[in-house]
A and B are shown apart, each in its own frame.
Chain A
Amino acid sequence: MTGALAAAASTTSTGEAVQFWVLGTVAVIGALCTILMRKAVHSALCLAGTMIILAVFYLANGAYFLGVVQIVVYTGAIMMLFLFVVMLVGVTAADSLKETLKGQRWLAVLCGLGFGILLCAGIGNASLTSWNGLGQANSGGNVEGLAALVFTKYVFAFEITGALLITAAVGAMVLTHRERIERARTQREQSEARVRTGRNVPPLPAPGVYARHNAVDIPGLLPDGTTSELTVNATLRARGQIRDVSGEALAELAALEQRSERWLGRGAKGGGAAGKGANGTSANGAVNGADGDGADGNGENGAHANGKGADERSQDAGSHKGAAK
């Protein structure tokens, strides 16, 4: 006992103090960001940073095994599981700022402050000036010391832990498993059903018929300039992440009509529209049709016309083509 008392220290090294104050500040900031960030992904990243700093503190406190386990298990496995579930549940699902209980947030902050003051006062009450370092306990190696304890004094708890882990793994599988009720339809059956109903027999039209706009979130345009919902992925449609460029397209179509009317000698208006219509690309294939060299432009428009595309405008463009020939 006297030997242990002789080994007792009263202060740590200056390096550890500097490390504590620097990393401790970062850890508290990370914890605050965890509870204050609106998006769950940001919270998870801040929490991962805090956990890594805690691992450094474990190493500084002589818990070498726990420091490594903290990095491997917490930041490596648990936080990745969190991120996985955040991605699964929806990254865009930001927390609502609406309070369901009135004044609950301030009461919670007040409770937290009171609790923290209580804890710190309790710790401060136990004035401790000297302590036993882990030098003696870690003399045979930290992992060896832990193993000796786990497999002798705590062996029963260790075995219970094994049962707990098995239960947790089975429980997670049971909770997330969904039995398929009906048989999955094969590709052949799906195509036969498509033909039988007669809707969307060929593949769905591609998004972005412009050469300038070929991103997947831009819907393709019907011949009358309106957008075709079919061309955009259903997920993007449900999220409302569709960029609509039909306004530009309608303006270009108006310019095209002016040009064709001027070419036919019908109207005296539309002098300045030619410059705007000239940079139109494959979407206004009727420009080529009117000039007499683009027969496939009309065919492309006809492929996208499902129902309402067969209006008089495309018929009009077809008659221009015939006139040009």
Chain B
Amino acid sequence: MNPVYYLYLAALLFTIGAAGVLIRRNAIILFMCVELMLNACNLAFVAFSRLHGNLDGQIIAFFTMVVAAAEVVVGLAIIVTVFRSRHSASVDDASLMKL
């Protein structure tokens, strides 16, 4: 087996996450799909790190994790705030600025 297969798996997971973002309407599940995409990128970075034989890819994946954690904290806080004012977590209901 070649470690390139990890890249294929990462591509597959990223695609599933992207399709989930397009399909689902619940804001929390949208966030989960974004997390899935970030994780797929991390897997690709780790596989690249092994292919290249240096640790820079792992550093990038580490920073991705930190940024993902910050993003999730702020995003979930926004979801909770929106839910408080609208009593719904659906992204379709947040259409106040639509013409």
Task: Say yes or no: B36 contacts A34, CB within 8 Å.
Answer: yes
Q: Which of A11, A35, A73, A120 is within 8 Å of B19, CB to CB?
A: A35
Q: Interface size class for chain B? A: 35 or more
C-alpha gap A73/B61 in the complex (Å): 13
Mark interface residues in B24-36 (1 if CB within 8 Å of A CB, else 0): 1110110111011
> Is A281 close to B, CB under 8 A?
no
C-alpha gap A119/B14 in the complex (Å): 10
Task: Say yes or no: B55 contacts A146, CB within 8 Å.
Answer: yes
Task: Say yes or no: B1 contacts A78, CB within 8 Å.
Answer: no
Task: Say yes or no: B6 contacts A157, CB within 8 Å.
Answer: no
Q: Which of B16, B52, B55, B65 is within 8 Å of A35, CB to CB?
A: B16
> Is A57 close to B, CB under 8 A?
yes
Dominant secondary structure at the B interface:
helix
Instruction: Of the listed stretches A110-118, A267-275, A299-307, name the one at the interface; the rest are far from the partner chain.
Output: A110-118
Q: Interface size class for chain A? A: 35 or more
Mark interface residues in A52-77 (1 if CB within 8 Å of B CB, else 0): 00100110011101100110011001
Task: Say yes or no: A172 contacts B73, CB within 8 Å.
Answer: yes
Task: Say yes or no: A123 contacts B4, CB within 8 Å.
Answer: yes
C-alpha gap A61/B59 in the complex (Å): 14
Nearest-Cβ distance from residue A320 to partner chain B, whole angstroms: 51
Task: Say yes or no: B39 contacts A74, CB within 8 Å.
Answer: yes
Task: Say yes or no: A164 contacts B53, CB within 8 Å.
Answer: no
Task: Say yes or no: A95 contacts B29, CB within 8 Å.
Answer: yes
Known: A27-B13, A57-B43. A16 touches B62 (CB 8 A): no
Task: Say yes or no: A50 contacts B13, CB within 8 Å.
Answer: yes
Task: Say yes or no: A69 contacts B62, CB within 8 Å.
Answer: yes
